[in-house]
Structures are given as structure tokens and as C-alpha cells.
Amino acid sequence: MAAAVLPVGVTVAMVGSAVSGAEHPATLSVVITDAGSTVHDSCPADEYTGSFFDGAEVALLDGAGAVIEAATLDGAPRTSPHGCHWTTEFADVPDHAGFTLRLRGDGVMPREHTWAYTPEQLDDNDWRLWVTVFA
């Protein structure tokens, strides 16, 4: 598993593996994790009310910056060995030379995070991304 620590306390880990060069699947799976949570947290929705994650938009953009598809984080995150997380999927992703994943929240400490990927990087990770952000 590759991980990179980025400015503002953001960690991106690409998970999974696939045979490189295979035609990409119809769906991109994205997991958003609260970096401040632990395996011992119960992840109740009320703890996230008004936080960065409350109603945050997850969007997949093409290389020109146009939104291909967007989803909203809502409700309680799920618990996991990696802490509290939300999962979203983008179906029928068209072919593009590059993609940007954008996470934008208007809650406490409003901000935006973006990550750029080539189709080859997504192929290498079976079109699954795991993004960890501090609330």
C-alpha cells in the first residue's frame, strides 16, 4: 500500500491491485476516512454534525475540471479497523486522460482537497481509492 503525507494533514492511500492495462471497470469506489478517528470510535452521526465531513461534496472531475459525477457525505460514517469512514461510488466513469478527486466541505474549517490521478494509476489500484482527511 502506498501512502503520501500531504500538507494540511492529509494522507492519501491507494489500495487494491489489478493487472495494469486492463480496461477500467464501470465504477470508481472512493472511501473517505476521518484521520482523527480510531478503531475504538463508534462513529455516531451527531459527532459529525457541523464538522468538515457534514454534507461534504465528493466529486470526480475530468482533466479539464468539469464535474463527471458528485456525491454528498451524509449520515453516520461506518466503523472499521481504520476508523470512521464513508464510501461512495461513481458509476459509468467515461474515459479521460486524467481525473481529479475533489473533497469540499463547508462545515467547521471549510476547505477543499484535490488529488489528481491518471487512468493508469486508477487501473493499478483496481479503480479503488482511500482518502484520509483530518476533520
pLDDT above 70 covers a percentage of the chain that reads 81
Residue 22 located in a structural domain: no
In angstroms, the CA 107 to CA 47 distance is 13
CATH number (domain holding residue 124): 2.60.40
Residue 32 located in a structural domain: no
Residue 122 located in a structural domain: yes
Residue 87 located in a structural domain: yes
Give per-residue pLDDT as tens, 114-130: 999 999 999 999 999 99
Element (H, E) at 101: strand 99-105
pTM of the prediction? 0.79
Give per-residue pLDDT as tens, 30-48: 999 999 999 999 999 999 9
Domains identified in the chain, total number: 1
Residue 102 located in a structural domain: yes
Residue 3 located in a structural domain: no
Of the pLDDT bands very low, low, confident and very high (cuts 50, 70, 90), residue 90 is very high
Q: Which domain holds residue 76?
A: 38-133
Residue 27 located in a structural domain: no
DSSP-based three-state secondary structure for 26: coil
Contacts of 101 (CB under 8 A, 6+ apart): 30, 58, 59, 60, 61, 114, 115, 117, 129, 131
Residue 127 located in a structural domain: yes
